[in-house]
């Protein structure tokens, strides 16, 4: 009888131990799964950060290209027909809008004395500017003049 009790005790002991080993296995799987989720989130955040950085670089490259194009345009088109010059920026903006509504390709320039000048055309050569100045004096403003941007 003692042998039977001993054998039954061993069976109960080993059979209950299986659950313990299964529990450890499930805990290990849960830990591995949690680590995978954490790694996945970190990887997604890393990719999002890289994408954001890439977009910022592209935007900066576009701005730089636009700045260079504007600089080249300024070098080429340095003669401007000015139809108004204002010390107050709001007046220059209002007059610029008015000229734009009349169909002119306008631009606001600022000189060394901080006057806001409204240009209705930029030209590559002095001759083109003089021809357009005559037209501007007849059609827009009799006191129009030519500004040479350096």
What pLDDT digit, counting tens, does each position of 21-67 carry? 567 778 888 888 888 888 888 888 988 999 999 999 999 999 898 88
On the question of pLDDT at 16 being above 60, the answer is no
Question: Both 28 and 55 in a single domain?
Answer: yes
**38 and 83 fall within a common domain:** no
Assigned domain for 11 exists: no
Q: Are residues 87 and 135 in the same domain?
A: yes
Residue 48 covered by a domain: yes
Indicate whether 105 and 42 sit together in one domain. Answer: no
Let me know whether 84 and 60 are in one domain.
no
Residue 119, CA distances (Å) to 61, 70, 103, 109 in order: 29, 16, 13, 7
Q: Where are the alpha helices (DSSP H) in the chain?
A: 2-76, 89-101, 126-139
Residue 1 counted as domain residue = no
Same domain, 117 and 61: no
Q: Into how many domains does the chain fold?
A: 2
Q: How far is CA 129 from CA 42, 52, 103, in A?
A: 61, 46, 18
Structural domain that includes position 117: 77-148
Whether 144 shows a pLDDT value over 70: the answer reads yes
Answering whether pTM is above 0.85, one says no
- In the predicted model, is pLDDT for residue 113 greater than 70? yes
User: Which residues have C-beta within 8 Å of that of residue 120, sequence separation ≥ 6?
Assistant: 81, 83, 99, 104, 105, 106, 136, 140
Asked whether residue 122 falls in the same domain as residue 88, the answer is yes
User: Does 8 reside within a domain?
Assistant: no
Do 82 and 144 share a domain, yes or no?
A: yes
Q: Considering 40, 56, 74, which residue would you say is the last residue of a domain?
A: 74
Domain with residue 144: its CATH number is 3.30.70.1070
Give the integer Cα–Cα distance in Å for 21 and 13: 13
């Amino acid at each position: 009888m003692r042998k039977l009790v001993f054998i039954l005790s061993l069976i109960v002991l080993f059979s209950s131990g299986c659950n313990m080993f299964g529990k450890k296995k499930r805990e290990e799987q849960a830990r591995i799964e949690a680590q995978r989720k954490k790694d996945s989130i970190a990887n997604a955040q890393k990719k999002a950060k890289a994408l954001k950085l890439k977009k910022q670089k592209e935007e900066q490259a576009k701005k730089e290209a636009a700045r260079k194009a504007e600089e080249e345009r300024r070098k080429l088109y340095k003669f401007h027909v000015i139809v108004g010059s204002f010390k107050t920026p709001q007046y220059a903006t209002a007059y610029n809008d008015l000229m734009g509504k009349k169909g002119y390709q306008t631009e606001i320039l600022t000189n060394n004395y901080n006057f806001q000048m409204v240009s209705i055309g930029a030209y590559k050569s002095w001759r083109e500017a003089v021809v357009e100045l005559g037209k501007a004096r007849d059609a827009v403003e009799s006191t129009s003049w030519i500004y040479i941007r350096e």
